[in-house]
Amino acid sequence: MNDMKMLWQLYWAFLRIGGLTFGGGLTMLPMLKYELVEKKNWITEEELVDCYAIGQCTPGIIAVNTATFVGYKKKGVAGGIFSTLGMVTPSLVIITLVAACLENFMDNVWLQHALMGVRGIVCALMLNTVITLARKSLVDGFCCVMCGIVLLICLLTDIPTILIVVVSAICGIIWGKIREAKL
Amino acid sequence: MMQTALELFWEFFKIGLFAVGGGPATLPFLMELTKVKPWYTMEQLTNMIAISESTPGPLGLNMSTYAGFQALGLFGGLVSSFGLVLPSVIIIILIARFLDNFSQNPYVKAAFYGVRPAVTALIAAAVLGLCRVSLFVERNGNLTPAVGSVIIAVVVFGLLQVKRLKKFHPALWFLVGAVIGIVFRL
């Protein structure tokens, strides 16, 4: 009985975190800290930073990875699943509602004008995201070369994205070995 | 319908498995889907981004739910978000159970050292493609710039480089864009 209660607590905690933060990823850290460390005392701040590090270097949505990890630490596999479901619920409900409303008004002329304006904003914000990412990830020569080559490949060919991710991981490992051999 | 649901699940399972770097990293994959599946167009993807950024919840999860909804309604949203998070749940539980110090492992570090700049390039290419579709309209087979949207994009991009304006919530910018769009009848 106590187990079930804990699982629901995990579910609700992550539902609150998912429903109250915009953007995911890094913006979620203060909210996670407040809910999990300060309010519930489920994990320490160091553990949270650890969770976060793992969430960032595993594939998938960082917020979901962190939720699964914290849930698993607290209550095993079931805990991981309940936490993830909590994180998913707000997105599912809100997006479905908004999408359903929007689809109904798609023929509206005013909405179409508004969306044309929004398009420009999307482009500006996404370009800005790319620049922020580039500043963070292009830390040395290897990274710049890697980024340049992949960008050219993307613009000129139709090589599947999955293949690019896998090959670049292998390149990283080979480069690490080469550097090791040099030292 | 069952066929589409299975395809949705499989496509988003793959995205969950290979989108390294969270939300923005799903964009190149979502874009790739517009070429091979009839679920949504590039124009719709632009709207999906705007909605996903101005509603709560992780960006990648919101975009994937929206994509599933476009394909198959409420059920589609359920299937795609389930497909997206399943690899995460499996991988994280395996790591938590069997691998201590996963993020400190030299091989993991080396692999990520290679993946990070590649993902930046993937996202950059996706965003360039997105700008091409959003800021240019096809007329008689020629691409002509949608002047209003281009001006908004350039001006707002410039404003975003100002430190104080960077903190503004994306939803606020979208609101500004929507008002301008209505006032000038873009």
Do B32 and B95 sit in the same domain of this protein? yes
**Three-class SS string for chain B?**
CHHHHHHHHHHHHHHHHHCECCHHHHHHHHHHHHHHCCCCCHHHHHHHHHHHHHCEEEHHHHHHHHHHHHHHHHHHHHHHHHHHHHHHHHHHHHHHHHCCCHHHCHHHHHHHHHHHHHHHHHHHHHHHHHHHHHHEEEECCEEEECHHHHHHHHHHHHHHCCHHHHCCCHHHHHHHHHHHHHHCCC
Single-letter amino acid code for the residue at B60: G
Centre a 10 Å sphere on the Cβ of residue A39 and count the other Cβ atoms it contains: 11
In a domain, residue B120? The reply is: yes
Do B165 and B115 sit in the same domain of this protein? no
Tell whether the model's pLDDT for residue A1 goes beyond 60: no
The predicted pLDDT at position A131 comes to 92
Domain containing residue B103: 2-136
Interface mutation target, options B104, B113, B150, B174, chain A, most CBs of A under 10 Å: B113
Query: pLDDT confidence of A26, banded at 50, 70, 90?
Result: low
Using a CB-CB cut-off of 8 Å, the residues of chain A touching B18 are 59, 161-162, 165-166
Mean pLDDT of chain A: 90
- ipTM for the complex shown: 0.88
Domain containing residue A89: 2-104
Using a CB-CB cut-off of 8 Å, the residues of chain B touching A27 are none
Do B175 and B112 sit in the same domain of this protein? no
Binary contact (B61, A61; C-beta < 8 A):
yes
Single-letter amino acid code for the residue at B89: V
Do B19 and B37 sit in the same domain of this protein? yes
Do A100 and A130 sit in the same domain of this protein? no
State pLDDT tens for residues B149-182: 899 999 999 999 987 887 788 888 999 999 999 9
Using a CB-CB cut-off of 8 Å, the residues of chain B touching A159 are none
Do B127 and B161 sit in the same domain of this protein? no
Single-letter amino acid code for the residue at A66: T
Which pair of structure tokens corresponds to residue A166?
Answer: 């896998």
The minimal CB distance from A96 to the residues B77, B88, B128 is found for B77
State pLDDT tens for residues A76-115: 999 999 999 999 999 999 999 999 998 888 889 999 899 9
**A130 CB-side CA count, 13 A:** 23
A141: contact with B, CB 8 A cutoff: no
Q: In 3D, which of A62, A105, A106, A116 has the Cα closest to residue A87?
A: A62
Do A78 and A155 sit in the same domain of this protein? no
What separation in angstroms does the CA of A163 have from each of A3, A10, A62, B24? 42, 36, 21, 18
